[in-house]
Amino acid sequence: MLHHRQPASMYSVLGTAFGMIFITMPLANLLELVTNSYGEFSFLVLLVMGNDGFSQGFGLMGGKTPLMPNISPAKTWVGTGGGFLSCLVIGYLLHFLVPGWQVWQIILVAGLVSAVALCGDLIASSLKREAGVKDFGTVLAVTGGILDKFDSLLFAIPIFCFIAKYLDNNISL
């Protein structure tokens, strides 16, 4: 009894390739970031986690209008705005973690991190919706549940590392 296996569709192959890049590139950047500057690593993680947490909190407190109801119905405009502003404040308060950066650079980076984290979260939600699953744990077993917690961070890491390289070398943006 031999199973006849169907060849993988191009969609499946591209999805697998995207998944490998989506996870490995940010993790390689993360390793470089931790190796070069634990302060910058901490700054990034606290920004993303603060953005996610405050977005959810503001959204629950006063968010009525969904940001993108077809992709992520729980995300609201109020939550997004609250998360963004909170991220700016967190960046300013944590300026000591990136001592070589000027205040305007910190605020700019915090705003970009907030925007990219939101995009990462929305893209991950879109992928889950396309696959017809509630969370990545359904598709990727144990590691999928972890991916659900860090989808924003995975998108923010490469952008942050790119900008941090310029700021650390005192190159004006």
Q: Tell me the pLDDT band of 2, cut-offs 50, 70 and 90.
A: low
Q: pLDDT tens digit string along 29-69?
A: 888 888 888 899 999 999 999 999 999 999 999 888 999 99
Q: Which two tokens stand for residue 138?
A: 């359904």
Q: Would you state the pLDDT for residue 135?
A: 64
Q: What are phi and psi of 37, to 5 degrees?
A: -160, 105
Q: Would you state the pLDDT for residue 144?
A: 46
pLDDT at 82 over 90: yes
Q: Please say whether the dihedral angle defined by the alpha carbons of residues 101, 102, 108 and 110, taken in this order, is positive or negative.
A: positive
3 state DSSP class of 74 = strand
The full set of domain ranges for the chain reads: 39-168
pLDDT: is 16 or 117 the higher one?
117
Q: Would you state the pLDDT for residue 31?
A: 85
Could you tell me what percent of the chain has a pLDDT over 70? 77
* Residues 153 and 48 sit within 8 Å (Cβ to Cβ): yes
| Cα distance between residue 46 and residue 104, in whole Å | 18
pLDDT: is 73 or 141 the higher one?
73
Of 114, 144, 98, 126, give the one whose Cα is nearest residue 49: 114
Whole-model pTM: value is: 0.80
pLDDT at 21 over 80: no
**Radius of gyration (Cα) for the chain, nearest Å?**
18
Of 40, 78, 46, 39, give the one whose Cα is nearest residue 62: 78
Q: Which helix (H) or strand (E) holds 78?
A: helix 77-93
Q: Would you state the pLDDT for residue 173?
A: 43
| Cα distance between residue 79 and residue 151, in whole Å | 18
Q: pLDDT tens digit string along 27-40?
A: 888 888 888 888 99
How far is C-alpha 142 from the chain's CA centre? Answer: 19
> Within 10 Å of residue 70's Cβ, how many Cβ atoms?
9
